[in-house]
Structure 1
Amino acid sequence: MGYNTPTPIQSMAIPVILNGDDLIACAQTGTGKTASYLLPVLNYISNTDSHHTTALVLAPTRELAQQIDQQVEGLAYFTGVSSQAVFGGGDGMAYEQQRRGIQNNVNIIIATPGRLIAHLTSGVLKLNNITHLVLDEADRMLDMGFYDDIMRIVGYLPKKRQTLLFSATMPPRIRKLAKNILNEPQQINIAISQPAAGIDQQIYRVHDQQKTPLLKRLLKDGGYLSSIIFASRKEIVKSLYKELKAAHINAAAFHSDLQQGEREEILLKFKNKQLPVIIGTDALSRGIDVEGIDLVVNYDVPGDPEDYVHRIGRTARAATTGTAITFVNQRDERRLKTIEDLIEKPIKQMDVPEELQGIQPVKEEKPHGGPRKDSRRRPNRYKGNKPKPAGGN
């Protein structure tokens, strides 16, 4: 497949996993952590005569589950090892395909927690032969509220197993999870919460009315071949899609209202360079693994500084370079400060193009019934022993 040199997380994690130890591995996105656990797991399965499901990989999103499944197909091509991605959101045919794969005792199941529990409770899936449990992007799973589901799934597994926990961040709740499900784990920490060195990070200080014209200017004149635009809400994603389409920019909106088949088609076109621009929310930041993305734009500053790291981590993957641009309005200055504190350096500020500087912000109207200009308290008309009018408030 053209891989000659292991990444740091691979060279540190693979020997630990081959040795049979439990592992907590903390590494930023785009460092090759998927192969760091898949390769030793595939090695184990290839050297046993097991005809059961022996490895379970839990992932937070359907897109990540599918990508891990695709990596298994590539890495295991000559080994005969089989896998099945299990996730919700598809039609009845997809569910039936997953059920058949489970009944055929595929070697590796890659699943989102909710859909896996559905198969477990139906009695179709048995996990009593599992030797390896992997939690990929464990921090994201906890952010999405999967803690109880994870613990419920662990209850179906043999106590004697190897458990591998991979996470981009290591907050206290991850430590709690690790303490509950891992056994004397080894620990690896690589550049926690630090963007890849190849990312050129930039900010533009703008007001909201300048954002979309600036985005159009960057996409049309910047010479970028593959770009991801992150927005805070799907309503903004849909609106941006309409604006870019009207400007004759070839883009697609990626959001939860789309059918599973539509989402897959968008990602496939983007991966094959048939689609130069994709617009999405943070669900996309962990669910896409595409090399050659040269621009990431944060249309809105993310509320969590860790999400900033994950968003811009879509570019400059596998030791390449890329550009990450963030639009910062006045309300987002505090969020920018927390991001700069996290990455331990200021982000380079760029000048807004001269032709956009004349765009004026829309003045927000004060809501009716707001405070009067004279904010001094009016005297109480009913002081002393004078009775209030009947029925008065």
Structure 2
Amino acid sequence: MTSYDYLIVGGGMTAAAAADGIREVDGSGSIGMFSMEADTPYNRPPLTKALWKGKSMDTIWRKTKNVDLHLESEITKLVPSEKRVSDSGGNGYTYGKLVLATGGKVRRLPFDDEHIIYFRTVADYRRLRVLTETGKRFAVIGGSFIGSEIAAALAMNGKQVVMIFPGKTIGAHIFPEALAQFISQYYEQKGVTLLAGEKVIASEMRDHQHCLKTAGGQEVLVDGVVAGIGIEPNVALAESAGIATDNGIVVDPFLRTPFPDIYAAGDVASFYNPALGKHLRVEHEDNANSMGRLAGRNMAGKNERYDHLPSFYSDLFDLGYEAVGELNSQLETFADWVRPNEEGVIYYLDQGRVRGVLLWNVWDQVPAARDLIAQPGPFTASTLKGRLRAKPKES
């Protein structure tokens, strides 16, 4: 039975960052990484951003040092009392320290259609790229983060795009109503057809095209279908091993589970953030990299707290933003515009305290936004006006 000093369950950005974190502290300990994908670790954001703007595939790959990488290998059993795991092929491994970086599994529509691309992996990107070589019209199901990005990417590559989502506007649960309406109108100006307030309830092939049927009785004929309707934390392995879960694998400030030699990080981990005073589970690049790295460092002997409040960003055609904290359109918001819908800062408040900050075409202000969220306040529109300002990003 093979034994590793450090065993990483997962092969994504978090797993790669964990390996890097280990190597920062321990240059020689053995590392085994088990990935269900056929590809080596890579950066995920370019799949909906840079790769559609001409960047080479060569730019996405992560480089790990002295890692025994097991591809297309799923860890199916974890026995904490014996510090042992088994993979889907029946092979057994033991470990000194282990991190669960199992990420998330895509939410699926309530019907079967093998032709729908549930967009998440580089394999999904390749599959969609092949379709775009001949296909002209595409449907994107979902109006949030992934849906809005992939719809913009396809449209910028000359494709006719139909977006289908249940909300009134793109990003309705994130953006204040006025900004969400502006974004939706902007997409329509870019040639994207929006079917807002709709749900896809069935799909069938008709003359080599997909025919999507909506709850409102519409039929949409397209050459390809992409679904970006979110993920659910992949906690099955943790639960089978008796590890506590609550919207993810619950970890302490040092990213440990109740089993001291087992850590969790990335999309799958639920951690306490002191600035917001609550547990979070964050599905973005910054969290994957910073949390994975710290988990690796702590596995290798450090004792560092994860108090980081992750940020995220997006590119939507010519629009761009960075954000940090809670972006919830149900919160009170104050929009401090330099130019309405073009450059400004939107603050999300609850009882006078800033809970989130959206930097709309305002750059280099994420650290200041984090500091603001950590302050108790109270804040008002007058005390926030002009507080965070920077030059717009150069095109």
Highest RCO, 1 vs 2 (Cα 8 Å, sep ≥ 6): 1
The TM-score normalised by the length of structure 1 is 0.27
The TM-score normalised by the length of structure 2 is 0.27
More strand by share: 2
Task: Select the structure of larger CA radius of gyration.
Answer: 1
More helix by share: 1
